[in-house]
Structure 1
Amino acid sequence: MNVHVADSGAALKVRGLSVAYGDKPALSSVDAAFQQGRMSAIVGPNGAGKSTLLKAAMGIIPSISGDALFFGRPLDEVRSRIAYVPQRASVDWDFPATVIDVVLMGLYRSLGPFKLIGRGQRALALNCLEEVDMVSLADRQIGQLSGGQQQRVFIARALAQKADLLLLDEPFAGVDAATEKTIITLLKKLVREGGTAVAVHHDLSTVTAYFDDVLVLNVRRIANGPVDKAFTEEHLAEAYGGRLVQPEPELA
C-alpha cells in the first residue's frame, strides 16, 4: 500500500525527482507533496535521500530528472517566501560573524542590492533572537556557541525572513532538550499562524507528537500523507528493511 497525499494546496511538491552521487542513486523518481499550514517530517534510514530531497528541491545540488514547485510556482519566482535551515554539520562555524550578523543575513535578499542594514532591521533581528532566548549572546562569535545555541540562531535567522515555508534539515540533531522544545514550540506557532514547516527528522519516537504529515523515504517514496495513515509499522518496516532501529542523523 502506497499512501500519497493529494497535492492540492501544496507548499512544496516534487515530481519525479531523481538524484545520484556518481553512479549511486540517492533519489529515484520521487513524487511527494507537503501541504500548506502543516508540519511535515521526512523520515528514513541513513542514505535514504532525506537531506538530498531538500537540497535538490532548493537547487543546492543538481537533479538528474524531475522538478520542484513551491506554492505551485518555480523556486525563482517565490524564493523570498522560503527559508532554508541547513544541517549544523554543513556550516563553517569558524566564519568570523557574530550571532546578530547571522540573523541579519536572512534579511539581505528582502533589502535588495546596495541597501544597508538599518535600525529597523536590527530591531527585527533582536526580536527574533529574543524568541529563541539568544538575545543576550547577540554579539558573541557564532563559533563560540554550543550546538544547541547555534541551531537557535539559525532558527532566528529563518524567523527574520518572515518566510511562508521553512525547510529544516535535521533541526533537532545534536541539540539539548530545552532547544528542541523551543524549536518545536516556534514551529507549531508558525504553522498556527498559517505558515508551513518541512523537516528532515531522525527521531521516530517524536513524529506523532510533533508532525501532522510525513514522507517515509528510502531512495524512493514509501508513503506520503497524514501521520495516522503514512507513519505505520508496515511502511517503516519497508523503509528500514524490517529493522525499526533509531537511525543516526544523516550527514549528507
Structure 2
Amino acid sequence: MVMALASVDGKTASEDLASKPLTVRGLTVSYGEKPAVFSVDMTLTQGRMTAIVGPNGAGKSTLLKAALGIISPLAGKALVYGQPLKTQRHRIAYVPQRASVDWDFPTRVIDVVLMGLQRELGLLGRVRARHQARAMECLDRVGMRDFAERQIGQLSGGQQQRVFLARALAQSADLYMLDEPFAGVDAATERAIISVLKSLRAEGKTVVAVHHDLATVAEYFDDIFLINTRKVAEGPVESTFTAENLNQTYGGRLAMAQIDQLELAAG
C-alpha cells in the first residue's frame, strides 16, 4: 500500500519543499570539541531577502558554508528547492567574504566575472562574444564597467566586492547567498550592492546574507534569522526583530536603548 504524503496548505510535503529555495534541518558543525552550529533548522522563502544575524562567533558564516557544502557538517542536511545540493548547484550563486579571497592572484576584472559562466563555457572555456557581452552587462549593473581590464588586486575593497557580486550575477541563479557583503566597504558600495540585491528580489530571486549592522536590518531585509550557535528565531523582520529575540541572541550585550531604537525601525 502506497502512503500519500501529508498535505500542507493543499500541497504535499514534497511540493512544499520544492517551493523553498533552501531548507536546512538539524545542521550541526563542530571545530574541535565545541559545536559552532548546533542542530539548526532554517527555511528560506522564495522571492525574499533574509539576514542571518548574531554576535561574533555565533556560527553565521559556518551555517552558510555548511548549507553550501563548503564545509562538512557532523549531522543534518540542506535541500535546495527540495533536492540535494549536488543536483542544484547551478541554481545557487555564492559571494564569499572578501577577506577569504587571494587578491594577489593576477587576473583581470572581466576574467573574474567570466568565472561565473564556467558551467556555460565548459571544460575548454572558450569565451565567445555573447559571454563577453554578458559579463560586461553584469559589471555595468554594479557600476564597474570601466574597470573591466584592471587587475583585480589594484581595486579598492569596495570595488572588489562589486566585482564578486557581478560574478554572481553572471550565474543567473535563483538563490543568492552572500557572506558579509557589506563588511569593510564604503557607503557608496553598500548602496550599490543593496540596490542590486533588491532588484534581484524584484525579479523573483531569493537572497540570504550574513549581516552585522543591526541598524539597517529593517531597511534592507524582509526576513531575519537570529542565531547564537543554535537558532534563536526566524521570520519576517516586523514580527521577529524584537527586544526579546535580540536579548536572547546577544546575551544581554546590547543596550536597551539600542534595542528600543531597532524595534522602532522595524515597525
* Superposition TM-score, scaled by structure 2 size: 0.88
1:219 aligns with 2:224: no
1:243 aligns with 2:214: no
Match of 2:102 among 92, 109, 117: 92
AA in 2 matched with 1:127: E
Question: Runs of 5+ in structure 1 lacking a partner?
Answer: 1-6, 247-252
CA contact (8 A) 1:129 1:135 kept: yes
1:204 aligns with 2:230: no
Q: Equivalent residue of 2:83, what SS?
A: coil
CA offset digits 1:222-245 (Å, max 9, x no partner): 001111121111111111011117
Q: Distance in 2 between matches of 1:244 and 1:151?
A: 29
Query: What are the equivalent positions in structure 2 for 1:154-233 lying under 5 Å apart?
Result: 154-233=164-243
Question: Runs of 5+ in structure 2 lacking a partner?
Answer: 1-15, 259-267
Match of 1:28 among 38, 43, 48: 38
TM superposition shift of 1:109: 1.7
Match of 1:149 among 146, 159, 162: 159
Q: Distance in 1 between matches of 2:235 and 2:89?
A: 25
CA contact (8 A) 1:104 1:125 kept: yes
| Length, aligned pairs only | 240
Match of 1:44 among 38, 47, 54: 54
Equivalent in the alignment of 2:72: 62
AA in 2 matched with 1:77: T
Q: Distance in 1 between matches of 2:109 and 2:236?
A: 36
TM superposition shift of 1:150: 0.3
Report runs of 4+ in structure 1 exceeding 6 Å deviation. Answer: none
CA offset digits 1:4-52 (Å, max 9, x no partner): xxx7532111100000001121000000111110000000000000000
Between stretches 209-218 and 226-235, larger displacement belongs to 226-235
RMSD: 1.2
TM superposition shift of 1:115: 4.2
CA offset digits 1:70-98 (Å, max 9, x no partner): 11111111111100000000000001111
Q: Distance in 2 between matches of 1:172 and 1:158?
A: 15
CA offset digits 1:177-219 (Å, max 9, x no partner): 1111111111111011110100000000000010000100000
Q: Distance in 1 between matches of 2:201 and 2:121?
A: 25
Q: Distance in 1 between matches of 2:62 and 2:237?
A: 22
CA contact (8 A) 1:80 1:110 kept: no
Q: Distance in 2 between matches of 1:211 and 1:10?
A: 18
Q: Distance in 2 between matches of 1:165 and 1:110?
A: 18
CA offset digits 1:129-160 (Å, max 9, x no partner): 01111111111111111000000000100111
Q: Distance in 2 between matches of 1:142 and 1:115?
A: 20
Equivalent in the alignment of 2:133: 123
Q: Which of the pair has more CA radius of gyration?
A: 2
Q: Equivalent residue of 1:229, what SS?
A: helix
Q: Equivalent residue of 1:237, what SS?
A: helix
AA in 2 matched with 1:75: L
TM superposition shift of 1:111: 2.6
Equivalent in the alignment of 2:93: 83
Equivalent in the alignment of 2:4: none
Percent sequence identity over aligned pairs = 65
Greater relative contact order (Cα 8 A, min sep 6): structure 1 or 2? 1
Equivalent in the alignment of 2:117: 107
